[in-house]
A and B are shown apart, each in its own frame.
Chain A
């Protein structure tokens, strides 16, 4: 049997009409024809929709990129809603709908491990309000006071009479009620779903090929584009010779994009890709085209001793104390650019007409994607919409909307035709916004009793905000450079008590675009501080753990101690195995890591195990936290082992996984998560632990080899003894 397949109109039925009867937000693919049913179903409130068959739809404002926030946020709503967890499904409201409804879903941005920690209150209140309305609807039906009714497992019960009504039966009536003025949230001791290791809600379609990522988007009549931007960031497109490729198979159009890029639009990706590769292009990189990696290093080095620097944390007089100290320790560290390398390359689909512009994409920031689409389309935001799809990895990269802008600028040159723009892996690797590069000079002074009395941390290097969000600088200072080093606050405060402290930043911004990269500035800051702490402890003649515990504030010390205990720190390890440790506070959580490593005689590093402690205040889903901790180490250790972006003639040299290696399964260490939630605050879990992997491993390497590795990646170092 031969089946003629024609992709196009019948491949996916896509509903782009915004809202049907308050449900069915955005669109779904493939779509069930449930419009008739949907017209009957009203939302209880912005967060909760209940179908007559008891199906519960919980709206998720944040983006799901593998971190599990979709499941965790649903747990929070369902906890208060008192619904049957087995009936729960989720959907993403669109950014345009959020704006129309005066941001009823709050912030949609999904970065900085904020998904749960900045919305736990209002999403739980949403669930609680819906529960109260369902109870009120039942009470009205039975003509009894609501106070005589209770809700559990998607059923309201009148306690005295034993009468019961299911949520599906009550939903229509509940939707018509006014929401309660105030709701009381449960005491954490009464939680039934929060804190439970529930399975993810989004697994099945990822096992059968059904899950639609941005790159899988299809619309009737859609064309596919691929793009190449000037390899030197900041350079311009000078010219291209479209005539050379316009006759190639499938090619529809060759278009300039934003003055710095050119795209080929074709019927398939391969035809677009082949034509783009054959397209003669000239770039104008100007003087940036002469910048070499050594120039960047020299720029950063200069900042290490510069007079001017932004002060991020200060106590006493560090410089004078160090100058007069009994013992002085000094070391300089360096951290390279690293690529995000999400498995799904950047992409977006856009449909532009002079009246309307719609985009479909995986994004960590739906509202930024919408704003970028409107700006590129030169249309009011109210005439645009962004539909969020599941992300094939984000790690901070998809918080930027540069690729959305490009897709719209291409589609704008083909009005009425949907265009899916896909970056090649090479484009993804060379047009990333990289983990920023910095250097750091650490100087410590010990007194006669070997107590750390003065510490100067001089960071020199890139600011993400200066490049991506200059309006967020404070009098020129990027306070986020000091993640983990801040004097206080609930986010990223410095954990050690050092009487004379100076942490400052000489901002030096090379032309290569930096960006938010899982863990962001905690990554290098944890290496600088925690590796150097081992150096100072050694100078003080003390064990790294004991030395730290004397200076760490209580929550920091508690998590480090718990982690060390679990790892058996100080106890005998197998021959040739060594422990290294590190701690930091980031994204509102306190974390610590103990790495057990060995280095073979021929210099091969093996990370056997990482014991990772985390105190996020409350842990919503221990199973998913465990996955995030282990996953953060794969991402972080990949970078520590192999991650280095370098430039030559102003352009990024690494282009694909052959020149930018990442960790494979055979290198995966055992990870044991020590979850010690101390309650009373809500910290993040997607990022915090990533920062402790590298310094813990580096500190272990020193014990094994006597080598202080102060520059990443490790692949550049010979770990053989004596080498």
Chain B
């Protein structure tokens, strides 16, 4: 039994030590906002923050996490108050199908924490998540909007 620090809470997770964090979050802890897209760290749909670093949770075994702080998409808004990034996403109507957007928002959250005023090149480098609907332009605009907010 592992005890994880997820979204500011200590949660017990009864899963095999090698289970990727992605599936611990989804199946064991019921936090299904973090998505499965590829399982090989290519698509970024499973991105969470681990101690503030955007991390593809499909490649993180449960036994490597320890008490590091995990933040998932469910942990961003506090008391239903959206973060400025979520707010920018809302105002610019970013998602289409929306499936990749949890990962996009988590990656953007880490980017803006590290670089509050990112350039387009910074965004290109940090935002390698796959979107099949084609929201790339709106994601970029929303990051710039959040940076100004």
Using a CB–CB cutoff of 8 Å, the interface residues on chain A facing chain B are: 1-5, 7, 11, 65-68, 199-200, 202-213, 215-216, 218, 224, 249, 267-271, 341-345, 390-395, 422, 424-425, 623, 627, 630-635, 638, 656-658, 662-666, 668, 670-671
Contact = CB atoms under 8 A, between A and B. Distances in A.
Given A2-B3, A342-B132, A343-B131, A207 B90 contact: yes
A207 B105 contact: yes
Given A1-B9, A631-B135, A657-B38, A270 B23 contact: yes
A65 B97 contact: yes
Given A633-B134, A634-B136, A657-B40, A209 B97 contact: no
A209 B19 contact: no
Contacts of A67: 96
Nearest to A213: B99
A623 B93 contact: yes
Nearest to A10: B30
Interface in B77-115: 77, 82, 86, 89-90, 93-102, 105
Given A395-B132, A631-B134, A671-B137, A66 B77 contact: no
B97 A657 contact: no
A634 B137 CA distance: 10
B27 A345 contact: no
Contact of A343 (B27, B45, B74, B77): B45
Nearest to A71: B93
B98 A209 contact: no
A268 B28 contact: yes
B118 interface: no
B127 to A, nearest CB: 5
B10 interface: yes
Given A212-B32, A344-B35, A665-B136, A270 B131 contact: no
30 contacts: A1-B10, A2-B3, A2-B11, A7-B29, A7-B30, A66-B133, A200-B93, A203-B93, A203-B94, A207-B95, A268-B23, A269-B23, A269-B27, A269-B36, A270-B15, A344-B35, A392-B99, A393-B132, A425-B36, A425-B37, A627-B138, A633-B134, A656-B38, A656-B39, A657-B38, A657-B40, A657-B42, A664-B129, A665-B139, A668-B140
B40 A343 contact: no
A657 B134 contact: no
Nearest to A657: B42
Given A5-B11, A212-B32, A664-B128, A392 B98 contact: yes
Interface SS of chain A: loop
Contact of B133 (A1, A218, A634): A634
Nearest to A629: B134
B76 to A, nearest CB: 7
Given A3-B9, A631-B135, A665-B124, A391 B97 contact: yes
A394 B138 CA distance: 20
A393 B28 contact: no
A341 B134 CA distance: 13
B131 to A, nearest CB: 7
Given A5-B29, A209-B74, A668-B137, A215 B36 contact: yes
B51 interface: no
Given A4-B12, A209-B72, A634 B27 contact: no
A249 B132 contact: no
A424 B39 contact: yes
B73 to A, nearest CB: 4
B147 to A, nearest CB: 16
Contacts of B134: 627, 630-635, 668
B117 to A, nearest CB: 18
A631 B96 CA distance: 9
Given A4-B12, A390-B97, A668 B132 contact: no
A232 to B, nearest CB: 23
For the complex of A and B, 5 pairs with smallest distance between CB atoms:
A209-B33, A66-B97, A634-B134, A206-B98, A392-B99
Given A634-B132, A656-B42, A249 B16 contact: yes
Nearest to B33: A209
Contact of B93 (A199, A205, A208): A199
A211 B95 CA distance: 12
A250 to B, nearest CB: 8
Interface string B1-36: 001000001111101100110010011111111111
A615 B27 CA distance: 46
B124 A666 contact: yes
Given A215-B35, A393-B132, A634-B134, A207 B82 contact: yes
A658 to B, nearest CB: 6
B128 A207 contact: no
B47 to A, nearest CB: 12
Nearest to A217: B32
B53 interface: no
Contacts of A424: 39
B60 interface: no
Given A208-B33, A657-B130, A627 B11 contact: no
B128 A665 contact: yes
B123 interface: yes
